[in-house]
Amino acid sequence: MYRLPLFDHRVLDLTTTPAGAYTTRLLGDLGAEVVLLEAAERTGHADLYVNKYSAAIDVAAAEGRTAMLKLIAGSDIVVYDRPIGADYADLKAANGRIIALALPPDGNAGTAVAAAGAVGLALWDQRRTGGGSLIELRSPPAVAIAAAPEVGTFEPVSSSEGVRDVRSPHWRLSETPLHVRLPAPQRGEHDEYVQRLLG
């Protein structure tokens, strides 16, 4: 039985842009458990939300900020592309080993790929030092995020809406085949699961 590279890591997704959603999709494709907190309807193609759990939590509200900090305490990585009402010192106070990934609000597909690579390096550094880090990413030159539906490979995935073809992960690893584990959720579909994480 193989394990995906990030199988034992939890990512807290606080992104609101397609580039942010693509970044956390890539981390989910690599095996991370991605918990998406979303206050409003999302933007971007549904495939950007595959391999994620969704909870309808607004981190701008006081209760949402409390929930966010509690989830950070049990997460390995937090990804955001907007102000979240907390700075890195707040995040580190909640979890001294947290890797915080701050994406630019004007990110693109190149940003997402660079971000996924930066997370890998930060995890390597975390194992070496025992501490977390803040990654502040700048936007590389523009690259389109939403490819035409006929581009790429697809796999059938079952959801509450039936079986549909979903774009497969972009990377192929010889020893740990990547696959879609969760279909794109409805907003708030996993509220109960996230409430269990919150205790």
pLDDT at 184: 85
Is the model's pLDDT at 36 over the cut of 80? yes
* Domain contains 4: no
**Greater model confidence, 175 or 89:** 89
In a domain? residue 1? no
What is the pLDDT at residue 146? 53
pTM of the model: 0.82
The answer as to whether 3 is a domain residue is no
Q: Identify the pLDDT of residue 197.
A: 93
Is residue 192's pLDDT more than 90?
yes
Say how far apart CA 86 and CA 109 lie, in whole Å: 26
Please check whether residue 106 lies inside any domain of the structure: yes
Confidence of residue 149 (pLDDT cuts 50, 70, 90): very low
Query: Which pLDDT score is estimated for 148?
Result: 43
Helices 191-198, 62-73: crossing angle, 10 deg rounding: 70
Query: Who has greater pLDDT, 82 or 2?
Result: 82
**Is there a contact between 38 and 56 (Cβ–Cβ < 8 Å)?**
yes
Residue 157 has pLDDT above 50, yes or no: yes
43 located within any domain = yes
Q: In which domain, by residue range, is 50 found?
A: 10-198
CA proximity to 47, closest of 138, 151, 139: 151
Encode 116-141: b = buried (16+ Cβ within 10 Å), e = exposed: bebbeebbeebeeeeebbebebebee
Residues 6+ apart with CB under 8 A from 176: 2, 3, 4, 5, 31
Average pLDDT over the chain, rounded to whole?
87
In the predicted model, what is the mean pLDDT of residues 58-68? 95
Token pair for residue 27? 């981390």
Calculate what percentage of the chain has a pLDDT beyond 70: 88
CATH for 182: 3.40.50.10540
Going by C-beta distance under 8 Å and a sequence separation of 6 or more, which residues neighbour residue 4? 30, 31, 176, 178
pLDDT of residue 174: 53
Confidence of residue 172 (pLDDT cuts 50, 70, 90): low
- Cα distance between residue 138 and residue 108, in whole Å: 10
pLDDT tens digits, one per residue of 48-57: 999 999 999 9
In a domain, 5, yes or no: no
52 inside domain: yes
- Report if residue 122 sits inside a domain: yes
Residue in 80, 43, 85, 40 with CA at minimum distance from that of residue 61: 85
pLDDT of 147: 47
The total domain count for the chain is 1
Q: pLDDT (tens digit, 9 = 90+) per residue, 94-144?
A: 999 999 999 999 888 888 988 999 999 999 999 989 999 999 987 665 555
Looking at residue 180, its pLDDT comes to: 83
Least confident of 59-63, 76-80, 176-180: 176-180
